[in-house]
Every structure is written in C-alpha cells, then in structure tokens.
Chains A and B, each alone.
Chain A
C-alpha cells in the first residue's frame, strides 16, 4: 500500500545549524510529494512540493528533492532560525488519496 515514513522526533538544534528531516515513501504510480509545517495552535501550511522525479521544491530557505530511485523527499535547510520551531509533515498524493507522515517536531534554541 501507499505510505509515508518520516524520522522520529523531537529534533533540537541550535540557531544557524543545518537541518535535515528524512522522509521516505511507498507508492504506486507517480505521486506528488509535499512538506507541510504546523506552528503551535495552527493548522498545517504547505511549505513546498514536487510533482515529478528530480523536481526540487523550495520555499523560505527550505528545500527537498524528489528522488525516485531512493523513494525519498528529505527536507533540508542550511541555517535554521528560532522561528522555524514547528512540526513538519511529509505527505504524498497518489491519484485520489493523500497520505501523511506522523510529523517531526523541531525546536530551535538561540
């Protein structure tokens, strides 16, 4: 079946550190891939997306590349800020279904 697996949290980093949150997927066909972010007390916000292999999604300094050969869509940021503290969700859409990972909590300390 289709599924998304993302790294367990919580993740704690110092400001300006490099961030990687791993995401791998299992899917039939050619899914679209997404990263969402959820700040405390809010709903999920789309952070970036990629719709085909080798596409790179990017937004607000975050990047993720759709790797079909490794079925991965890892989220990276070169220098995190305190304001990046949130929960990050990897997701895929294949045909008419969305699948979400369990979320990874990130805390950035000054």
Chain B
C-alpha cells in the first residue's frame, strides 16, 4: 500500500531564504506524486505533480520538486521564500484508483 511521510510538522524560514519541505513515499508501483498547498480557511490547491518523464518538476509560485526514485523522495523547494508562502503544504501519492493518500502536512512559517 502506498504511504507518504512528511518530515517536520512545522518549518520556519526567513523571508528570502531557501524553502525545503521533505516528503518520502512508499509505493509498490511507479508513483504519481503531488504537492498541494492549503491557505488558511481555504481548500487545497495543486502546486505541482509528477507522473512520468522529467524528474524535476516545476510548479506554480516558483516551487519545484525533484523525484528521486533511489531515495523514494519528492522534496519541495523554493529558492527564496516570500511572506505569502506561509501556508500548510501536503505531499500526496496517487494510487491505482486515482485517489490521493496525503502526508500529515507541513506548516511553513515565514519570518520577516
């Protein structure tokens, strides 16, 4: 069965600093991987997804993630944090019935 582990329930960075949110997955088949963002009192919005092809995936708002099969990881990065990036981020793996299995989420805090 697929599963996702997000390391760090809270990550705090200074504005302008690198953002790194960690995600490791477990999947017996080639995975479909996603990062979603949830702003306060809102639904989830897709940042980026990996299905097949290029292992470096670029998403919206300057985020990108690299699929590393050997490390079973799909970490999310952004070179320079902005105050508006403060939100909760969820990594998810898709299973064969196209439902999403989510990690526990990482809350990103951006310090001025």
Q: Do A and B interact with each other, yes or no?
A: no
A residues with a Cβ closer than 8 A to B are none
